[in-house]
């Protein structure tokens, strides 16, 4: 069970959970019994997890999850996305009860997963993207290919011709939509994210604004798409929220070292002790001591102030200060039409 060789599972299931605390306790006991690490979010609207362990353990985990009466006829084998890894990909196990299983910051009763966009299989999505790129090259597209992940995710990998919002958190996505409603007016929107869960609520929010002609989403997310189209229209690496930071399916490198500009897509944490920003810095620059996310962090350790309660606050670095919370998208129709 505790073998280093294994895999990481990513899954979610939207369903009515009458006793989240009970489900949380059961889930924690199950993961501990199987020696799994990772993160599991439980809410009245369902469950969302990413766990790592030996292949024996992850296989047993899937079997138990599928036999759980709460998920019967809702969750299926195909809903579990897997990648090479193991328990070592996470520092520990964290299982908790939250208001949302994906933090969009809006009450699930106001914007429900039941009002999602139209789900497209990887094959259907592939055909749609192919058609979109073909039309865009001729300046005839009425479609937006929307990446609803964070900027540091799309920076190292994305679909060709996509619109990737410059947002730091998914909870900023609703405000991004509100600030850019004109951009989506009368458009067909093809949405995608890592495993599909952010599109469930994100597409529901976009539909609630009643400005788009149609809203579609990639079922199973990039994970499932890459299983069938490893050399398709998605280029670069797929960012993951564990100690691996990224997994790859093709050899393309679409991002660059923050310091010298050479092609590079392997993230590291900023070397400043109290900073949690990710930085792209190549081996050559690392050897020169350039290991921080920005000059502020590079020149000094971030100062930490203490609250009376004993909690600490980290000083915002230059990267955070210069990035607007929710940017207004300056994308001209011509740029969208050419797929840039």
Model confidence at 328, pLDDT cuts 50, 70, 90, reads: confident
> In percent, how much of the chain has pLDDT > 90?
77
Residue 59: C-alpha distances to residues 54, 64, 171 (Å): 8, 9, 33
- Give the structural domain span for 289: 256-303
Query: Would you state the structure tokens that stand for residue 200, as one six-digit string?
Result: 């469930």
Backbone torsion region of residue 162, taken as left when φ is above 0, otherwise alpha when ψ lies between -120 and 50, otherwise beta: beta
- 209 and 240 inside one domain: yes
Cβ atoms of 39 and 94 closer than 8 Å = yes
pLDDT at 255: 97
185/294 same-domain check: no
Question: Of 24, 148, 193, 317, which is the active-site residue?
Answer: 193
Q: What is the pLDDT of residue 315?
A: 57
The pTM of the full predicted model, rounded to 2 decimals, is: 0.89
Residues 186 and 264 in one domain: no
**pLDDT level of residue 313 (50, 70, 90 thresholds):** very low
Smallest CA-to-CA distance from 276 within 268, 284, 287 is with: 268
Contact status, residue 148 vs residue 246, Cβ threshold 8 Å = no
Q: Are residues 266 and 180 in the same domain?
A: no
Q: Given this model, what pLDDT does residue 331 score?
A: 58
Give me the phi and psi of 163, to 5 degrees please.
Answer: -105, 115
Q: Cα(290)–Cα(276) distance, rounded to whole angstroms?
A: 16
Asked whether the predicted pLDDT for residue 88 surpasses 70, the reply is: yes
User: For residue 197, which phi and psi values (nearest 5 degrees)?
Assistant: -70, -40
Alpha-carbon distance 250 to 231, whole Å?
A: 6
Identify whether 162 is a catalytic site residue: no
Q: Considering the chain, what is the average pLDDT of its residues?
A: 90
Q: Which of 113-122, 265-274, 320-329 has the lowest mean pLDDT?
A: 320-329
2 is a domain residue: no
Q: Cα separation of 127 and 133, whole Å?
A: 10
Would 239 be classed as within a structural domain? yes
184 and 271 inside one domain: no
Same domain, 123 and 92: no
pLDDT at 307: 46
CATH number for the domain harbouring residue 182: 3.40.250.10
In a domain, residue 329? The reply is: no
Q: Which two tokens stand for residue 278?
A: 């990710």
Give me the pLDDT at residue 302, please: 45
Dihedral pair phi/psi, residue 47, rounded to 5°? -140, 145
For the chain, the domain total comes to 3
Sheet holding 157-159, edge to edge: 157-159, 234-239, 246-248
CA 337 centroid distance within chain: 26
> 243 and 270 share a domain?
no
Contacts of 127 (CB under 8 A, 6+ apart): none
Answer whether residue 315 is part of any domain. no
With contact defined as beta carbons under 8 Å apart, do 128 and 191 qualify?
no
Rounded-to-integer distance, Cα 204 and Cα 61, Å: 30
Is 328 within the bounds of a domain?
A: no
Question: What does the pLDDT look like over 74-87, one tens digit per residue?
Answer: 999 999 999 999 99
CA 65 – CA 69 distance, rounded (Å) = 9
Same domain, 241 and 270: no
Q: Which two tokens stand for residue 105?
A: 């910051």
- What's the pLDDT tens digit per position in 179-233? 999 999 999 999 999 999 999 999 999 999 999 999 999 999 999 999 999 999 9
Which long-range CB contacts under 8 A does 166-172 form with residues at least 24 apart? 166/323, 166/324, 166/327, 167/326, 167/327, 168/320, 168/323, 168/325, 169/103, 170/102, 170/103, 170/104, 170/198, 170/202, 171/103, 171/104, 171/105, 172/325, 172/326
Summarize pLDDT for 169-188 with one digit per residue, the tens.
Answer: 999 999 999 999 999 999 99
Largest CA distance in the chain: 61
Mapped onto helix, strand or coil, the DSSP state of residue 238 is strand
The answer to whether residues 134 and 169 belong to one domain is yes
Residues forming beta bridges with residue 82, ordered by sequence position: 9
What percent of the chain clears pLDDT 70, i.e. is strictly above it? 89
Looking at the fold, whether 201 and 164 belong to one and the same domain comes out as: yes
Q: Are residues 126 and 75 in the same domain?
A: no
């Amino acid at each position: 069970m505790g073998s280093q060789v294994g895999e990481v599972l990513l899954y979610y299931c939207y369903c009515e959970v009458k006793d989240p605390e009970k489900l949380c306790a059961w889930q924690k006991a199950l993961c501990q019994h199987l020696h799994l690490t990772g993160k599991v979010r439980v809410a009245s609207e369902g469950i969302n997890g990413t766990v790592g362990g030996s292949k024996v353990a992850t296989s047993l985990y899937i079997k138990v999850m599928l036999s759980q009466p709460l998920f019967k006829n809702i969750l299926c084998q195909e809903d579990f996305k897997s990648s090479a890894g193991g328990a070592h990909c996470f520092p520990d196990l964290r299982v908790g009860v939250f208001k949302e299983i994906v933090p969009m910051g809006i009450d699930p009763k106001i914007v429900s997963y039941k009002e999602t966009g139209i789900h497209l299989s990887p094959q259907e999505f592939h055909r749609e993207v192919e058609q979109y790129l073909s039309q865009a090259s001729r300046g005839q597209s009425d479609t937006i290919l929307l990446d609803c992940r964070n900027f540091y995710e799309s920076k190292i990998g994305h679909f060709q011709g996509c619109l990737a919002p410059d947002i730091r958190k998914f909870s900023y996505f609703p405000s991004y939509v509100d600030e850019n409603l004109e951009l989506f007016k009368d458009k067909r929107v093809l949405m995608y994210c890592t495993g599909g869960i952010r599109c469930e609520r994100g597409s529901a929010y976009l539909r609630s604004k009643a400005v788009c002609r149609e809203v579609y989403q990639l079922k199973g997310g990039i994970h499932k798409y890459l299983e069938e189209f490893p050399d398709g229209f998605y280029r670069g690496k797929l960012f993951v929220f564990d100690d691996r930071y990224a997994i790859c399916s093709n050899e393309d490198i679409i991002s660059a070292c923050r310091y010298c500009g050479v092609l590079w897509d392997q993230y590291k944490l900023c070397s400043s002790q109290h900073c949690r920003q990710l930085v792209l810095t190549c081996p050559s620059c690392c050897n020169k001591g350039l290991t921080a996310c920005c000059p502020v962090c590079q020149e000094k350790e971030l100062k930490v102030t203490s609250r009376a309660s004993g909690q600490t606050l980290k000083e915002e670095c230059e990267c955070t200060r210069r990035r607007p919370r929710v940017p207004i998208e300056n994308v001209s129709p011509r740029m969208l039409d050419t797929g840039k």
